[in-house]
Structure 1
Amino acid sequence: MMDPKQLFDDTALECSKLITQRYSTSFTLGIKTLCKKLHMPIYGIYGYVRYADEIVDTFHDKDKASLLENFRQDTYKAIDEEISMNPVLHAFQLIVNKYHIERDLIDAFLNSMAMDLDFATYNDSKYKEYIYGSAEVVGLMCLRVFCEGDQGNYEHLKHAACKLGSAFQKVNFLRDLKSDYEDRGRVYFPGVDFNSFDSHVKAEIEADIKQDFDEALIGINQLPKGAMLGVKIAYLYYLKLFYKIKSLSPEIITKKRIRIPNARKFALLVSTYFGYKVGWN
């Protein structure tokens, strides 16, 4: 018979797994190619950041600031008390406490979520602050899990993890340029006017993203073996999405959201898996 506490913990983590599966087919595919012992910790992180993001992006008829502040306080309480009756928070605190994820990473993440409530346009410093908190720190949380307590390896790979998170987020900004502006009134890229988004502006943004991808790849190829394939899947998916966006005109980017069909995501997973097995990096 399973220990009741273990059953409670496992059930909370299964909730975060379900959230990941419902919200992101690409990350679900990537997680499945991680070493099995890493699956639930990464689900626990994704479920938490996904629900925080939902507070600011979805519940337009609610007091989002109060919801987010309550979420913040409940997060810290769960971490300090090592329990929560909210399964998403309970799963997250399990991972935070087991892998010693720093409080300042969580602070930065929640601060970026709060920025979405207050900012419609971003200057350069706010843009960098937002990307660090909304994406780079999530990469660092995952890196804590991947390194499993190896502080030296964590420090060595921090820069690449941040660059990967940055690349992912900037690709998301390009992909969602239309919906962010029309549905939320946001333009994340500093100095960019949605109504005059042209090929010159697009090319400058893409050059910046490509540099992030290049620096991230150096670290991906040095990840612990159990994490490398899953992270590379996510990297290649976003790189493919990036090149698809790069091939399109600014007019198309401002009129539709760009996607990669699930069948192509699966084909990418299979080709990357077999490439990895025969020693391709």
Structure 2
Amino acid sequence: MSLAADTSFTHFTRTAERAANQVIAAYSTSFGLACKLLGRRHRQHVRNIYALVRVADELVDGVTAEAGLSYQEQCDALAHFIEETHRAVKLGYSSDLIIHAFAQTARAARIDHSLIDPFFDSMRTDLGERTNAPGTPLRFDADAHQGYVHGSAEVVGLMCLRVFMRDENIDDGDAASLQHGAGQLGAAFQNINFLRDLADDTTRLGRNYLGTSEHLADGDRMAWVGTIRAQLADANAVIPLLPRDARAAVRSALSLFAALTDRIEQTTVDELYRSRVRVPDAVKAGLAARAVASTWMELHR
């Protein structure tokens, strides 16, 4: 490869990374804040993962429908996105900037089909193309919920873990603990989002991720709060096993979602069906600062 060709590819990749960063800036201030706490060697890779996941999620959460695509055209759009992602991971290139950025990360961190395929399976479920006719509400029993959460969230945590650990040498026991913690953190994040997005999921999207009944009860809400807290505790326990330059960011994200859980506990189901629970920006900043301080003290004991 000539120097000019190498420079062209590098320039294109940097452009793709900037596009991924714009996706995060547009869709998640919380995730963007946590990413800033990552070490430089991890930061862009995690942003690349988030951007691909977000674009896919938007594709099945109404963007294509609002663009006027028919149900079959929406399914075709998702199928094309999936096919292009697999092709890019294999070849190391895509003309789609977001997919190209993700492919660089996937190849660097060995993110393979075992993680990519379950994610896209969950995106297919959101369209209902396997189990429901268009317009039919989606309801998830316990098994369907677990399968969906594994694909939509646990594997994303595992993708990030592969980024963090790509240069590390750890024993099998620690590796298993980290994989469990990463999966639990992803599951906790997703279950929290299901609770805080009850209004949008049920009214606009016609989905009930938390059970087969039409309306969640307050007892159900509290049961999910207990499940989430157990998942967060499992994740928190393995943070010291992460590389030093990943711990503060993970602690910050975990602390934010723990704060969301506290707020959800104090919010009735009827309120959750009307509005989305949020953590004020000033509180987010404080949680991030405490995560940095806690990590610094841990590293300097």
| Bucket of the pairwise TM-score, normalised by the shorter protein | over 0.9
Map of 1:106-125 to 2, 5 A cutoff? 106-118=116-128, 120-125=138-143
2:250 aligns to what?
Answer: 231
> What's the CA shift for 1:149?
4.4
1:21 aligns with 2:42: no
Q: Distance in 2 between matches of 1:187 and 1:131?
A: 13
> What's the CA shift for 1:202?
1.3
3-state SS of 2:238 partner:
helix
In angstroms, what is the RMSD of aligned CA positions? 1.8
- Paired residue for 1:161, among 160, 176, 182? 182
1:38-65 per-position Cα deviation (integer Å, ceiling 9, x unaligned): 1110111011001000100122122221
1:65 aligns to what?
Answer: 75
8 Å CA contact retained: 1:143, 1:154: no
1:4 aligns with 2:8: yes
1:259 aligns with 2:263: no
- Paired residue for 1:98, among 84, 89, 108? 108
2:298 aligns to what?
Answer: 279
3-state SS of 2:276 partner:
coil
> What's the CA shift for 1:8?
1.4
1:189 aligns to what?
Answer: 210
TM-score (norm 1): 0.94
Q: Distance in 2 between matches of 1:272 and 1:155?
A: 24
Q: Distance in 2 between matches of 1:155 and 1:224?
A: 15
1:210-251 per-position Cα deviation (integer Å, ceiling 9, x unaligned): 111111111123211111110110000000011111111222
- Paired residue for 1:249, among 253, 268, 273? 268
Q: Distance in 2 between matches of 1:241 and 1:180?
A: 18
2:93 aligns to what?
Answer: 83
1:109-148 per-position Cα deviation (integer Å, ceiling 9, x unaligned): 0000010011510121111110000000000000000001
3-state SS of 1:259 partner:
coil
Q: Distance in 1 between matches of 2:95 and 2:146?
A: 35
TM-score (norm 2): 0.88
One-letter identity of the residue aligned with 2:289: V
1:132 aligns to what?
Answer: 150
Equivalent pairs counted in the alignment come to: 279
Identify if the C-alpha distance between structure 1 residues 238 and 160 changes in structure 2 by more than 3 Å, giving closer, same or farther.
same
Q: Distance in 1 between matches of 2:54 and 2:212?
A: 28
1:4-57 per-position Cα deviation (integer Å, ceiling 9, x unaligned): 222111111111111111110001000100111111101110110010001001
Q: Which runs of 5+ in 2 are unaligned?
A: 133-137
Map of 1:35-46 to 2, 5 A cutoff? 35-46=39-50
2:135 aligns to what?
Answer: none
271-280 vs 111-120, which deviates more?
271-280
1:148 aligns with 2:169: no
Seq. identity, %: 31
One-letter identity of the residue aligned with 2:186: G
Q: Which runs of 5+ in 1 are unaligned?
A: none
Q: Distance in 2 between matches of 1:256 and 1:176?
A: 8
One-letter identity of the residue aligned with 2:160: C
- Paired residue for 1:172, among 190, 193, 198? 193
1:64-105 per-position Cα deviation (integer Å, ceiling 9, x unaligned): 211100001111111112111111011011011111112121
Q: Distance in 2 between matches of 1:40 and 1:188?
A: 31
> What's the CA shift for 1:276?
2.6
8 Å CA contact retained: 1:206, 1:246: yes
